[in-house]
Amino acid sequence: MLAQDMTISRESFLRALPAAVNHSPFTTAGAEVRPVDAGLGWRIVVTPLPDLRLGLIVLPRHRVEVHLCGFDDARKRAFLDRFELYFRRAGG
């Protein structure tokens, strides 16, 4: 499982997610995001966290957990590398 806190709104996360999961169709139910094809073996949980406040700047935050099931090491690494690439900001 990959778990990380992200400074991103839920809307922005869902907007970027299709490319991050290689355009696999998905559904959302509450905090969970799952592929339409249950055989793909991934699940993402997006949980809101308190906003990050830096003076007058307020950034939304979410805890993002990526759960992978039935992936060999190479496929797991490829999925996570792609996922992280699409959410990397300002050159990493």
SS3 content of the chain, % helix, strand, coil (to 5): 30, 40, 25
Q: What CATH number was assigned to the domain covering residues 2-87?
A: 3.30.1370.80
pTM of the full structure: 0.89
Of 62, 17, 19, 61, nearest to 43 (Cα)? 17
Q: Where along the chain do its domains lie? A: 2-87
CA distance 90 to 25: 27
How confident is the model over 70-91, as pLDDT tens digits? 999 999 999 999 999 999 875 4
How confident is the model over 4-13, as pLDDT tens digits? 999 999 999 9
How confident is the model over 39-62, as pLDDT tens digits? 889 999 999 999 999 999 999 999
- Angle, helices 10-20 vs 73-87, to 10°: value is 130
Assigned token pair, 84:
């992280």
